[in-house]
Amino acid sequence: MKNELTVNNNIIWNAGNVVFNSSNVASTASLKSAVMRDTNGDFAAGTITANITGASSLNVLKSGDTMTGGLTITGNNNINIQGTGTLSVGGNTTLGANLTVDSGTLYVNSTSNRVNVGQITESNAVKFNVYTAAGSLNFQSGLALSSQTTLYQSSVFNQADGGESGIVLQHGATSPSQWGITAKKSSADVGSLIIRTRTAASTSATRLTISNGGNIIPGATNDQELGTDGYKWANVHTHIVSIKDSARIGNGSSNAEADIHLRGGGTGAGGGRGFRVGSNIGGGADVFEIYASQTNGSDDWKSLATPALPPALAIQGTNNRVGINTNVFSGTDTSSSPNVNRDYILNVQGDMNLNGQFFQNNEEFVTSRWTESTNDQGANIYRPSKVGIGNVPAPAYQLDVAGDTNIAGVFYLNSNRLFADTQGIIALAASTISENVDIPANAIASSNGPLELASGNTITINSGATWTIS
């Protein structure tokens, strides 16, 4: 028996020149290496070249190939693409764990459902974060906004030279809440920032526009409010306020102060007082008042003094009363009994001067119908009319007295003294008659003589009259 195996007279194996190995052992000229599997069914070999059909032919070639089926890699194994070519995915891609691009350029955490741009470390719990270490420079007016990389970390770009570009914020699936924020590049609105919302009718409406010049414009006239009754701004600092229709202070829901502070004056000796104007300040909910500050350039209003100082002007709404230097509109008349409480249309606390004419019921009003005399520096008065004293509503004489008359002094008639004494005992009379005299009919007249009738004068004694000279 020969130590060889032949097939069709061809030596397949010879004990002297062929040896079987499960490891990768190369053949020599005198000793050929045959392959056999080890106890695990494995063997090692170098390059294998074959034209194979069947299941073995479906393997992907290392030098490059096209794979038509799916590829599943199980176990704790990685895929490393170390080439410099492009990775193209023609369909949907699902990753079951984190995604890291270039050590933090893009990082997606599949556990916390967060996306980071710029770093892997999650510095906060926000779902989308953009991190940068570009520097700490401030805004540079000489650069475009897109070049301010130390300030602005993300952007939405529309490279077209018209229309708008922006983002939509949505919450909810059915009839969702939506906000749209866009920048515009067309017509007169170039550079405007426009904010819109979804309406109840599933349309969109503009709510706010910020122009390229910084103007803040509402979406519609008389349709929007700045703040609400429940949430109000604490202070609005502006230069000029222009109001087309009306300004409202307070909402009328409760008795609360509704006032305006006017503080145009400065402090110190060259300054001026401020003014507080409004309702329900010091006189109650029904009173409009104007108060001054206690010192120049300050807000130490007189209404807040202890005790409170009076307003410069007060107007009562219920009865249309006006107070000057007081917010009291009534007083008690103690000159009558019982005392009478009087309400005044105008109540003035302090001295008052009127430069001009005062009228009552559309007629000239004078506090006295007497006129100052031209002698004695106006210390005397006169009246060119009939005067009644007592209950004389229609005086018939220059002086018409109803009641007793007492004269403490000397009585004169046409500058002639009638009595030498002050008791009316020694009567005085002139002796020359220098006027025409008419003694009325049936009158009884008497005189002390002797008398002289001046030339050209006549005394007429009418029927039934008598004149006795003693």
pLDDT digits (tens, 9 = 90+) for 376-432: 887 898 888 999 999 999 999 999 999 999 988 888 988 889 999 888 899 898 899
Query: What average pLDDT is seen over the chain?
Result: 87
Rounded mean pLDDT of 256-260?
91
Type and span of the H or E element at 296: strand 287-296
The Cα-based distances of 301 to 93, 181, 274, 332, 351 in angstroms read 72, 46, 8, 29, 23
pLDDT of residue 108: 95
Ramachandran area for residue 390 (φ above 0: left; ψ -120 to 50: alpha; else beta): left
pTM listed for this prediction: 0.57
Q: What is the pLDDT of residue 56?
A: 62
Q: What's residue 55's pLDDT?
A: 61
The rounded distance, in Å, linking the Cα atoms of 135 and 148 is 11
Residues 134-153 have a mean pLDDT of 78
Q: Say how many Å lie between the first and final Cα of the chain, rounded.
A: 220
Q: Which residues contact 429 (CB under 8 A, 6 or more apart)?
A: 447, 448
